[in-house]
A and B are shown apart, each in its own frame.
Chain A
Amino acid sequence: MSTELWLGGALVAAFVLYALFGGADFGGGVWDLLASGPRKAEQRALIAKALGPVWEVNHVWLIIGIVILFSAFPRAFAALSVALHVPLTLLLLGIVFRGTAFTFRTYDARGDAVQRRWGLVFSVASVLSPALLGMCVGAVVSGDIRVQGLVVVSGFFSAWLSPFALAVGALALCLFAFLAAVYLIAETREPGLQEDFRKRALGAGVAVFLAALGVLVLAREGAPRVWEGLTGSPFALVLHAATAVAAVLAFGLLLARRFWLARVAAAAQVGLIVVGWAASQYPYLVVPDLTLQGAAASVATQRALLVALAVGAALIIPSLLFLLRVFQSAPNVPISPRPPGEGRGEGI
């Protein structure tokens, strides 16, 4: 396997992990915004408790992805950051407000009004950011970003504002909300809360299905090359069949109240969707002008990067697993209905 393919694989892996962790993190914010019913405060407290130790880590996957992109495929990074300047800037604002609002809410426990204000900033940014992220992905696959040499010639708006890109944005939002709801069920043992998030997961699952259908319908016009990839190659068909199986399975397991297995199935579904996206646009990084090979850095750089990534993975993966193990092992801890910062006690 060539070094480009390895690095392309690393890029896809970073995006899969970002979707699984960062995506669920965004989704948590969506449910914070949509918290309702008699257990509104408990829902928010559960979300904050689940996110607290890991939100920063969850978002580092995006930085890893960006770093791989600009050091291994610099020409693609340059083209994308020109063509998607506007949505990426808006996404950045979303990320800044989301992260700081979450931290400020945690440490600025002056009273309910202030906490609610930070909570609102956090949750609104959590809705906008994944939608913008999805729109950027939609623009990349659509083939509407055109590059000649190093120069972007397709303007700064049309690619990410096409109906297809908007549909991908909606899909990303629904998908992350679905994932978060499924994750959150297994974070608590309180039956009422479990039921709240189970209902939300089922609703979001239906929304995912509808959004995916919309993307598919619009892809024919909006992303012809991906449409061919989706329907043409046998490999892609197998991948999409697996995605569909995972989706149906996740839904069935939710109905059957097998929450841990549902979590695995939902994660598989989301991961397969990201891999499916990557497979359907292969060998292009930016459809249709930049391929993996065409945008790649020199071989010496690619080798050095692979070594650096391997060393990094050897360091990060065990410690990350440890972090997750320490904080996933305690779903019994009672959840305080007080907003975060109170109920979490020690060490905060």
Chain B
Amino acid sequence: MDLLYARAQMGLSLAFHIVFAAAGIALPLLMVLSDLKARRTGDADYALLSRKLAKGTAILFAVGAVSGTVLSFELGLLWPAFMGTYGEVIGLPFALEGTAFFTEAVFLGIYLYGRERIPAGLHLFSGVMVALSGAASAFFVTLVNVFMNDPSGFTLTAGGPVNVDPVAAMFSPGWRHQTAHTLLACYQASAFAMAGIHAFVLLRHPGAAFHRKALSIALPLACLSALVQPLVGHQSAEHVARAQPLKLAAAEGLFQTQRGAGLSVGGLPDVETGTMRYAVEIPKGLSIMAFMDPDAEVKGLDAFPRDEWPPVAKVHVAFQVMVGTGGAMALLAVVTLFLRWRREAWPEDRRVLWGWLLCGPLGVVAMEAGWLVTEWGRQPWIIRGVMRTGEAVTPVQHLAAPFWTFTLVYVFLGAMVVFLMVRQVAGTLPGHEPPVGEVAHEH
């Protein structure tokens, strides 16, 4: 039972942190882009947008910073055996992530509070540094997850790891796909959320120039990431098919090893009977997708011992959600880019705006679902094939108490952040704009 609470607490902390971390990575980029546009065009709206995004970054980064502090402690508080035994193998990317995070915090301080105090070029440089170091910290911390999925860089003995090579461990197999996939997800989630918010305002106030411009900053990044992500995701899946076949089998709900395996779309795997229900099957689809060969053999769950199976239904559903939302976003991106090409302006008709409003939350949904696929898909291991999650958990008891405490805290913080963000946007609605002279002092 305590293991379940420990997993729930870690999962909740990560699920919460991921959203803010993603914003801390992508919003600085959007902030710098609108800053650049403001300089090029001299348009005050872009300058205001850049300030608004800087404020949003400040709020989200603060919450990301404290939830990240919590996580760095929770690694030990919940999984002391994992950190005690393998901390030395995988400490390097953590140390680099700490460095990158520190750099981001320093330059964010300079950017937020230095606008009027330092030369404009230096101010912009600080913004670029915030965006770069944010991306670097996500890169490094994802490398830890890569290691947990496919550990390397040490020799396993009964007494623990020997011959430790921290650099090899840091670049465990599949690191290219997984870091690219994660970084893109951060940009995609944030850009879609931003586009959704401004589409919402434009639907109610079609003339709002500020929000049209804001949308024009968010849409390029949203479209680009939505189109590249499926390609990167596909490569990632090809890698998983070879390196972690059990995870693929669970994600696809494939119970029997077979040649020419079909791709199940939707559906609910039933572990008791070993069958997939309610799924639409694309013949040979899985063999083609995973191995580029319609008759390739794909390993099913039956190729692995029952006690090493991940929770098949959860992994499959999360995977379907990720692929489905990713597909919807890619489709919207194609339509939007086509209209942009035809009309030489970002589309503003209501149907497209409705599309962006509805797809606004999907980036975050896809990101959380994808993270669940990789985490649930690795169970019962904390480090695949090396240490089981149950072996890593703390001997401290009554873990229900911290779990419920942190759950309440996160719910409260989440509500607060939403409230503050709504207020940030509300200040820019037509009729609510501050008088021009007070723009510099608005909240």
Q: Which residues of A contact B (CB under 8 A)?
A: 52-54, 56-57, 59-60, 62-64, 66-68, 70-72, 74-75, 77-82, 85-86, 88-89, 92-93, 95-97, 99-100, 102-104, 107-109, 150-152, 156, 297-298, 300-301, 304-305, 308-309, 311-312, 315-316, 319-320, 322-323, 326-327, 330, 341, 345-348
Q: Is the CB of B83 within 8 A of A74?
A: yes
Q: 6 new A-B pairs (CB below 8 Å) besides A81-B394, A347-B51?
A: A56-B62, A63-B98, A67-B98, A81-B73, A93-B406, A109-B443
In the assembled complex, the CB of B424 is this many whole angstroms from the nearest CB of chain A, namely 8
- CB-CB < 8 A to B88: which residues of A? 71-72, 74, 297-298, 301
B166 within 8 A of A: yes
The complex places the Cα of A301 from the Cα of B165 at a distance, in Å, of 7
Contact mask B26-66 → A, CB, 8 Å, 1/0?
A: 00000000000000000000000001001100110111011
B244 within 8 A of A: no
Take A67-B94, A103-B59, A300-B165 as given contacts and tell me if A320 and B106 are in contact as well, using a CB distance cutoff of 8 Å.
yes
Q: Is the CB of B83 within 8 A of A60?
A: no
B283 within 8 A of A: no
- CB-CB < 8 A to B117: which residues of A? 326, 330
- CB-CB < 8 A to A64: which residues of B? 98-99, 102
Q: Is the CB of A305 within 8 A of B91?
A: yes
Subset of 24 A-B contacts with CB under 8 Å: A54-B109, A56-B108, A59-B69, A60-B102, A62-B69, A67-B72, A67-B94, A68-B95, A77-B80, A81-B83, A82-B395, A89-B402, A97-B409, A99-B65, A100-B62, A108-B420, A150-B85, A300-B166, A301-B164, A305-B92, A308-B99, A326-B114, A346-B115, A347-B116
Closest to A311 in B: B99
Q: How large is the interface on B (under 10, 10 to 19, 20 to 34, 35 or more residues)?
A: 35 or more
* Count: A-B pairs, CB below 8 Å: 227
In the assembled complex, the CB of A157 is this many whole angstroms from the nearest CB of chain B, namely 11
Q: Is the CB of A53 within 8 A of B394?
A: no
Q: Is the CB of B77 within 8 A of A81?
A: yes
Q: Is the CB of B443 within 8 A of A70?
A: no
Closest to A78 in B: B84
Q: Is the CB of A345 within 8 A of B441?
A: yes
Take A81-B80, A308-B95 as given contacts and tell me if A56 and B105 are in contact as well, using a CB distance cutoff of 8 Å.
yes
Grouping DSSP codes into helix (H, G, I), strand (E, B) and loop, the B interface class, with mixed when no group exceeds half, is: helix
Task: Please name the 7 residue pairs, one residue from A and one from B, whose CB atoms are nearest each other, closest first.
Answer: A71-B91, A78-B84, A81-B76, A74-B87, A297-B88, A312-B99, A78-B80
For A77, A86, A309, the residue with the greatest tally of chain B CB atoms inside 10 Å of its CB is A77
- CB-CB < 8 A to B61: which residues of A? 56
Q: Is the CB of A67 within 8 A of B91?
A: yes
In the assembled complex, the CB of A93 is this many whole angstroms from the nearest CB of chain B, namely 7
Take A53-B113, A104-B416, A347-B113 as given contacts and tell me if A297 and B91 are in contact as well, using a CB distance cutoff of 8 Å.
yes
Take A347-B54, A347-B112 as given contacts and tell me if A316 and B99 are in contact as well, using a CB distance cutoff of 8 Å.
yes
Contact mask B391-404 → A, CB, 8 Å, 1/0?
A: 00011100000100
Q: Is the CB of A96 within 8 A of B83?
A: no
B428 within 8 A of A: no
Q: Is the CB of A316 within 8 A of B96?
A: no
Closest to B68 in A: A63
Quick one: which of B93-143 are within 8 Å of A by CB? Answer: 94-99, 101-103, 105-110, 112-118, 129
Partner of B73, one of A56, A66, A300, A305: A66
Q: Is the CB of A70 within 8 A of B51?
A: no
Closest to A14 in B: B98
Q: Is the CB of A304 within 8 A of B83?
A: no
Q: Is the CB of A77 within 8 A of B83?
A: yes
- CB-CB < 8 A to A341: which residues of B? 443
- CB-CB < 8 A to B83: which residues of A? 70, 74, 77-78, 81
The complex places the Cα of A156 from the Cα of B73 at a distance, in Å, of 16
The complex places the Cα of A150 from the Cα of B102 at a distance, in Å, of 31
Partner of B70, one of A72, A75, A92, A323: A92
Q: Is the CB of B113 within 8 A of A52?
A: yes
